[in-house]
Structure 1
Amino acid sequence: MQRPRASRVGELEFCGIPVWAGWMGMGRRDAPFGYRLLGLLSLALWLPAVSCQCRILKCNSEYLSATSGLHVGTEESAEFCIALRAYSQCTRKTARACRGDLAYHSAVHGIEDLMNQHNCSKVGPTQTPARAQPTSLDCMVHSDAPELCNYEKSLQRHAPHPNYTHCGLFGDPHLRTFTDDFQTCKVRGAWPLIDNNYLFVQVTNVAVVPGSSATATSKLTVIFKNFQECVDQKVYQAETDDLPAAFVDGSRNGGEKHGANSLRVLERVAGQHIEIHAKYIGTTIVVRQLGRYLTFAVRLPEEVANSFEDNQGLQLCLKGCPTNERMDWRLPQPRKGGSAAPHSAFTREAATAKCRERLPVDDLYFRSCVFDLLTTGDVNFTLAAYYAFEDVKNLHSNKDKLHIYQRTADHSEGNSAPGRPSLQTLPISHFLLICSLWCCLAHL
Structure 2
Amino acid sequence: MGWSLFEWLLLWVLCRLLIAEEIGVCDTQSCIKDFSSRTRGLREGPNRPYCVHLKHYMKCVQEQSKACHGNILFHGIKISVETLMVNNRCEQILAQEGHDGVDGEEEDAYPVSPLPEDPCGYKGPGLNPAHCGLFGDPHLKIFNGTFMTCRVKGAWPMLSSSHLAIQVTNEAVAPDFKATATTKVTVLIKSNPTCGPAKTYEASSESLPKAFIDGTTFSGHDLSHPFANVTESESGRHVLIRIKSINTVVSIRKIGNYLSVAVTMPEEIIETMSDTMQLCINGCPISEQLSEAIH
Structure 1 residue aligned with 2:217: 252
Structure 2 residue aligned with 1:148: 119
Question: Greater strand share, 1 or 2?
Answer: 2
Residue 307 of structure 1: how far off its partner (Å) = 3.0
Bigger Rg over Cα: 1
Residue 329 of structure 1: how far off its partner (Å) = 6.8
Structure 2 residue aligned with 1:180: 145
Residue 258 of structure 1: how far off its partner (Å) = 9.3
The within-5 A match list for 1:261-300 is: 261-300=226-265
Structure 1 residue aligned with 2:185: 220
Residue 257 of structure 1: how far off its partner (Å) = 7.1
Amino acid at match of 2:121: N
Amino acid at match of 1:308: M
Paired residues of 1:149 and 1:259 also in contact (CA < 8 A): no
Paired residues of 2:152 and 2:284 also in contact (CA < 8 A): yes
Q: 1:315 aligns with which of 272, 278, 286?
A: 278
Structure 2 gap segments, 5+ residues each: 1-114
The within-5 A match list for 1:51-70 is: none
Deviation string, structure 1 residues 370-428 (Cα, Å, up to 9, x no partner): xxxxxxxxxxxxxxxxxxxxxxxxxxxxxxxxxxxx57xxxxxxxxxxxxxxxxxxxxx
Q: Percent identity?
A: 41
Q: CA RMSD in A?
A: 2.5
Matched, 1:211 2:173: no
Deviation string, structure 1 residues 250-278 (Cα, Å, up to 9, x no partner): 11001447986131111011111101111
Paired residues of 2:131 and 2:263 also in contact (CA < 8 A): yes
SS in 1 for 2:219: coil
Question: Greater helix share, 1 or 2?
Answer: 1
SS in 1 for 2:157: strand
Structure 1 residue aligned with 2:156: 191
Residue 302 of structure 1: how far off its partner (Å) = 1.8
User: 1:233 and 1:172, CA in 2 relative to 1: closer, same or farther beyond 3 A?
Assistant: same
User: 1:232 and 1:258, CA in 2 relative to 1: closer, same or farther beyond 3 A?
Assistant: farther
Structure 2 residue aligned with 1:235: 200
Q: Could you tell me how far apart the structure 1 residues matched to 2:208 and 2:288 are?
A: 28
Aligned residues: 182
The within-5 A match list for 1:71-110 is: none
User: 1:257 and 1:268, CA in 2 relative to 1: closer, same or farther beyond 3 A?
Assistant: closer
**TM, length-normalised to structure 1:** 0.38
Bigger relative contact order, structure 1 or 2 (CA pairs below 8 A, ≥6 apart): 2
Residue 293 of structure 1: how far off its partner (Å) = 0.3
Structure 2 residue aligned with 1:325: 288
Structure 2 residue aligned with 1:365: none
Amino acid at match of 2:156: W
User: 1:295 and 1:258, CA in 2 relative to 1: closer, same or farther beyond 3 A?
Assistant: closer
User: 1:271 and 1:145, CA in 2 relative to 1: closer, same or farther beyond 3 A?
Assistant: farther
Q: Could you tell me how far apart the structure 2 residues matched to 1:196 and 1:259 are?
A: 26
User: 1:329 and 1:179, CA in 2 relative to 1: closer, same or farther beyond 3 A?
Assistant: closer
Paired residues of 2:220 and 2:227 also in contact (CA < 8 A): no
Amino acid at match of 2:180: T
Residue 162 of structure 1: how far off its partner (Å) = 3.6
SS in 1 for 2:208: coil
Amino acid at match of 1:239: S
Paired residues of 1:217 and 1:294 also in contact (CA < 8 A): yes
Matched, 1:170 2:135: yes
SS in 1 for 2:218: coil
SS in 2 for 1:299: strand
Q: Could you tell me how far apart the structure 2 residues matched to 1:188 and 1:289 are?
A: 19
Residue 327 of structure 1: how far off its partner (Å) = 0.6
Paired residues of 1:149 and 1:230 also in contact (CA < 8 A): yes
Deviation string, structure 1 residues 84-119 (Cα, Å, up to 9, x no partner): xxxxxxxxxxxxxxxxxxxxxxxxxxxxxxxxxxxx
Structure 1 residue aligned with 2:63: none
User: 1:146 and 1:223, CA in 2 relative to 1: closer, same or farther beyond 3 A?
Assistant: farther
User: 1:243 and 1:288, CA in 2 relative to 1: closer, same or farther beyond 3 A?
Assistant: same
SS in 2 for 1:231: coil
Amino acid at match of 1:305: I
